[in-house]
Structure 1
Amino acid sequence: MLSSDEIAQLAGAICATAETLGQTISATAAELMAEDLAEYSPNDIRSALQSCRRELAGKFTLAAVLQRIHAEDGRPAKDEAWSIALSASDEFDTVVLTDEIQVALQAAKPVLDLGDKVGARMAFNSAYERLVNDARTQAVPVNWHVSIGYDAARRVEAITKALQMQRIPLEHAQKYVAELNYEATTEDGRAIAGLLTGRSFQPSAAMRGKLKAIKDGLAARQKEKEDILAAARSRQLEDLERRRAHQLQLIEEAKAKAVKSA
């Protein structure tokens, strides 16, 4: 929670952001926005305002700021969440999932057990969106945790991917090192245990391929995000240019009318 001084500073940053976007906002409105944002972390707020300055083409509102804060809270969209939930329903798979996915899956599981995937997905989406909205309203940070499956090889892959995607910290993953070491009868098992403990083991060619695929996938998603951001910046610059041209045209028309009146 921000202090009164921090809220005042945030209100100033909100006014400055609006001005950067060619808009104006009253001091009272900026202070109200700052109070509504006070429950979020300063870093998240700062990042969201920066994103607004860089990519927002429409009106600068509290909803625009919150949308960007929520987009960066680490919770997956409902389609990805459903995919994770399906994996979690298989007890052989080790899955890294959020609290909201786990609870929503419980709501959908009776329908899923009947073989109705469409109905189960609808039930899951409804519960998941409600849970995520409630968590975001209360500014509850995302909590990823590991659900251990029976297949030891899949544990290796799931925990490696979670580490690569920064969904669980190293110290969290280390909770599973003892079990991985105990069951690591293959070089791949010893290799992932080595990643977590700092010991050096060489994974198999197949495991190296999987690790590379994960790394390449993350790089591709990062590139996609950068492309979207660049396109948004381009649209914003074009919009600013159009508005400036329109203002210049209005000025010229006003000058011409003044000359005729004289």
Structure 2
Amino acid sequence: MNLERKAVDLRLEILDLICSAGTGHIGGDFSAIDILTYLYYEGMNISPDRVDDPDRDRFILSKGHAVEALYSVLADRGFFDRQALHNTYSRLGSPFIGHPNNQLPGIEMNSGSLGHGLPAAVGIALAGQMDGRPYYTYVLTGDGELAEGSVWEAFMAAPHFKLDHLVAFIDRNGLQISGRTEDVMPQGDLAGKLRLFGWEVQEIDGNSIPAIRAAVQHAKETQGRPSAIIADTVKGCGVSFMENRAGWHHRVPTAEEAAQARGELMQKARELDERSGK
């Protein structure tokens, strides 16, 4: 499977989902979708046929407001019905609410209250270690979320317990709803801080499938410590007028903007098809 092409298709899915529902966090969806694409189509041991397998890999979307990206991936993988998602997302009575809902297959925990995902992932990884299970626990946090104190308690705990089957992605797009993360709460040398805490740290292009693949493979080879992958991403990645703009943290495109975004994404899809000889 051409994962770069799949990520473009998923961006189109997310765009349609947000426009039909009239709500969503498209900027963070687009910054994170390449990470989700690699994990769900190649990197993780997970399947809609084995949602209760005790040895399945676990994924926690700590930045739960990017749920449109997760729902789109899970629907495409067959965890639930795509049409039901598009027809009911964020509507009264729908299970497809605006943050991950663990009543849906493939979702491990409700999330969205920022700062909770990494601590929960530490507990899940610790349980697997204690039970002798082979599964990996992956968690995706936002960079703005790192201002939460509970995240740093988890950053301290994971190396203490030598959780080498824990992989934490940090979607470092540099923007949050109120502006630049470095203006709201500076993080400085984030990689250096995490290394001092005892993490194996990699800094990568978080919108590059090959870079994500290599980072996950390195994390799986790391023993005796958890892995943090600082993914330098672009908020709104893939659509020119959304990229690196905090205003697209939570905004629904107008009809004209949606048409332009769709055109840009389809052009990218055509370029990828030509490159692959399709």
Superposed pair shares fold, TM > 0.5: no
Larger % of helix: which?
1
> TM-score normalized by structure 2?
0.30
Larger % of strand: which?
2
Answer with 1 or 2: which has the greater Rg: 1
> TM-score normalized by structure 1?
0.31
